[in-house]
Amino acid sequence: MEETLLAHVQGFMYPNEMELQWSVLIVLYPFITGLVAGAFILASLERVFKVEAVTPTYRLALLTALAFLLVAPLPLQLHLGHPERSIQMYLTPHTQSAMAMFGFVYLWYLMAVLVLEIWLDYRKDIVLAARSSTGLKQKLYKAMSLGIDNISPESLRIDDKVGRFLTIIGIPSAFLLHGYVGFIFGSIKANPWWSTPLMPIVFLFSAIVSGIALVMLMYMVVSWFTRREISMECVDTIGRYLMYAFIIDFTLEMLDLIHRMYEADESFKSLDFMVQTKLFTSQILVQIIFGTLVPIGLLALPQLLKLSEQARKGIYLLAGSLTLIGIFAMRWNVVIGGQLFSKSFLGYTTYKMGFATREGLLPAIILLVLPFAILWVLVKLLPPWQDDTAKA
Amino acid sequence: MSDSRTDKNRREFLLQGTKFIVLTGVAASAWDYVLAGTPEAAPSYKASQHWWAMMIDIEKCIGCGGCVRACKAENNVPLEPYYFRTWVERYHVRGEDLAHPDVDTPNGGYDGFPEIYHADDGAKSFFVPKMCNHCEHSPCVQVCPVGATFEAPDGVVLVDSAYCLGCRYCVQACPYGCRYIDPRTNTVDKCSLCYHRITKGLTTACCETCPTGARQLGDLRNPKDPIHAFIREHKVQVLKPQMATGSKAYYNGLDGSVR
C-alpha cells in the first residue's frame, strides 16, 4: 500500500493527503439522494402544479423516491470508521456542522414527508387489499393500514387534502435534502474545487434532472414488463421537463466553469490541469459531452421534428440512460476530483478503486442495485397503477 | 619526585572529583526528566490561564527531522510515510518564480533530507516545519458532526478518539493537510500539541528535540512568555492567511512561495 500510494503522487502533496479520504461510496451518496429529490419533485408536478399528463408516474415516482431514500444512508454507514457511533449524530449533534444535520433532514424527509404521503395516497388501496386478502398477506396490509379502515368519501377527501399539504411541504423539503448535500461540499473553503455558493443549486438541479430521468425510465421499463401501454403524452411531457431542467442545470454548471476560468485564482492552473488530464474522460467526455450535450440534443429532437412514437420512445430511453450516467459522472468528478489535487496546488494523485473491499466497486454496485430490489417489493405490495390498463 | 607524584595524585583527584560532580549533575537532571516524563495528573493546570501557540523560525530550521522522529515516538504515530502529526518540507525556489517552487518531503523529513541541490545553483532552499496550526476558528472543529474535534479553553484543538465517527469530514476541511485517519483506530488523529506534556509544565516533544530552537512553544496568555518578543521583533506570518482560520503557528521568515 505504501509503495502504491507514493507511486501515484505527481509533484508535491502534503504527506497526509496521499490517502484519499472519500471513496466511490461517497459518490453514491449525493447520486442516490439526488434521485430521491428529483423523483419527488416530479411527483409533486402532478399533485401541486396539476400537470395531469404525468399522472401515470405519480405513485411510481413516490415509490422510487422511497426505495432510494431507504438506501441513501447505507453508503455513509459503510464508509464510517465507526458506524456504531453514528447514533451520536442524533444524540449529541454539533449544531455548527453541516453534516450533523443530515440525520435530521433525512428523518424529516423520510418519515414526515415521504412515508406519510405514500401512506395517505395508498390508504384506500391498503384497506381494500386487507379486506380482500387472507392469512399473512391480510395481516401485513392490516399492519400497514395502522388499524384505520375508514375509507368513507369524507375521510378520503381529508386524506387528499392532507396529502396535498404534505406535497407542498415536501417540495422545499426535497430542495433542502439535496441543496443541503451540495452545501456539505460547497462550504469547504479549504477545497477550491468544492467551495462555491453555486454548489447547492447545481446539486439541486442535477438532482431534479437525474430523478426525472430515472422515473421516466422506470415508467417505460415497468410498463414493458407488465405489458401496460406507455402513455406517450406522459413520456413526452416528462421528456420536455427533463430537457428544461437539464438546460438550467447545464447553464449553472457552465456559469461555474466560466467564472472559474475568468477569475483564474490561485487554484485555477492546478484545477485546469486536472480537468485536462486526470478528469478528462469522466468530466469532458462522460459528463459534459455524452452525459449532458448529447441527451439535451436528443431531447430537443421531438420538440423540433415530427417523430414516430417508436422513435420518441427510443430517444427517451437513450437520453434517460445517458442522463443518469452523466449525473453519476458529475458526482464522481465533484467527490473524487476534489481529492485528486493537493491543497498546496503543487501536485496530484490518482484514485484506485478496490473491488471486493469495504469501499470498493462491488459494494457500490450492490448499493446501486438494492434500491431496485426494494422498489420491486414496494411495487408488489403497493401497485402504482391507479387504473387497470394492462393488456389482456 | 614525591612532589610530582603528589601533584599527579592531586590532579587525578580533581579530575575524578569534577567528573563525579558533573556526571552527578547530569544524572540528577536526567532523573528530573524521568520524573517529569512520568504521566501523572496535572491538578495545578488551569486551562483558562493559557493560550498556546507555536513559534517556528524557518531561518533556524536545518531539516534534521528530529522533530518528526520525536513526534512519532512520543505520540505513537504510525511510521508509514503518509501519517504525520508534524512533518518538514524542503522548498527550492528558482529566481523570482514564487508560484512554482520545487517542494519535497521525503518520508515527511523523518530521515532528514538527502542533498539533491547544489549550493551554487542560483536558487534558494529552506525548510518549513509543518504541524496543526491550532486555529482559533478551526474549519475542522466547525465541520465535525458530533463535536469529537474541539477547541480546549487553552486554545489547543484536540480530538476525542473515543467519540470520533471516522467520517473524515475534518480531514477534508483542514486547509493545511494536518489530519490523517489512524488505520489502527479508524479515527482521526493530528497534533495535540503534546497535551499530555504541556499540561504538566513541559514543552512539546518536537520543541524539546529541536537542536536549533527553530520550534518553540509559546503561551500567549503569559505576559512574560518569549513569544511576545518573537512576534514583536520578527516579521511573522501564518500559513495561508487568506483562509482566515486564526492560525496560532507563527512563522518567522516565511517565504511567499510557501503554501
Gap from B250 CA to chain A (nearest CA, Å): 19
What whole-number distance in Å separates Cα of residue B85 and Cα of residue A14? 12
Question: What are the structural domain ranges in chain B?
Answer: 1-38, 47-136+192-252
Q: Among A12, A99, A190, whose Cβ lies nearest the Cβ of B145? A: A99
Is there a contact between B167 and A81 if contact means CB atoms under 8 Å apart? yes
- Residue A390's pLDDT is what? 42
Contact criterion met (CB below 8 Å) for A204 and A178 = yes
Query: Each residue of B59-118: pLDDT tens digit?
Result: 999 999 999 999 999 999 999 999 999 999 999 999 899 999 999 999 999 999 999 999
ipTM (interface pTM): 0.93
What whole-number distance in Å separates Cα of residue B67 and Cα of residue B77? 13
Could you give the 3-state DSSP secondary structure of residue A86? Answer: coil
Instruction: Determine contact: A342 vs chain B, CB below 8 A.
Output: yes
Which residues in chain B touch residue A338, judged by CB atoms under 8 angstroms apart?
172
Q: Is the pLDDT of residue B18 over 60?
A: yes
Q: Among A13, A89, A346, whose Cβ lies nearest the Cβ of B145? A: A89
Instruction: Determine contact: A82 vs chain B, CB below 8 A.
Output: yes
What whole-number distance in Å separates Cα of residue A349 and Cα of residue A19? 9
- Residue B4's pLDDT is what? 57
Q: How many CB atoms lie within 10 A of CB B121?
A: 10
What whole-number distance in Å separates Cα of residue A292 and Cα of residue A202? 14
For B:122-181, CB contacts with A below 8 A are 130, 139, 142-147, 163-169, 171-181
- Region for A295 from its dihedrals, namely left if φ exceeds 0, alpha if ψ lies in -120 to 50, beta otherwise: alpha
Question: For residue B213, what is the enclosing H or E element?
Answer: none
Count residue pairs from A and B with Cβ separation < 8 A. Answer: 130
Contact criterion met (CB below 8 Å) for A39 and A211 = yes
What whole-number distance in Å separates Cα of residue A315 and Cα of residue A239? 9
What whole-number distance in Å separates Cα of residue A333 and Cα of residue A315? 26
Half-sphere exposure of B97 (CA within 13 A, CB side): 10
Q: Strands B249-252, B52-57: parallel, antiparallel or unpaired by DSSP?
A: parallel
- Assigned CATH topology for domain B47-136+192-252: Alpha-Beta Plaits (3.30.70)
Q: In degrees rounded to 5, what are phi and psi of residue B169?
A: -65, -40
What whole-number distance in Å separates Cα of residue B55 and Cα of residue B73? 22
Question: Which residue bears the cell 519535497?
Answer: B104
Which residues in chain A touch residue B165, judged by CB atoms under 8 angstroms apart?
80-83, 85-86, 88-89
Question: What are the structural domain ranges in chain A?
Answer: 21-335+353-381
What whole-number distance in Å separates Cα of residue B4 and Cα of residue A392? 129
What whole-number distance in Å separates Cα of residue A53 and Cα of residue A46? 8
Is there a contact between B82 and A15 if contact means CB atoms under 8 Å apart? yes
Query: Each residue of A261-296: pLDDT tens digit?
Result: 999 999 999 999 999 999 999 999 999 999 999 999
pLDDT < 70 regions, chain A? 1-3, 386-392
Instruction: Determine contact: B106 vs chain A, CB below 8 A.
Output: no
- Residue A45's pLDDT is what? 85
Q: Is the pLDDT of residue B34 over 80?
A: no
For A:52-81, CB contacts with B below 8 A are 76, 79-81
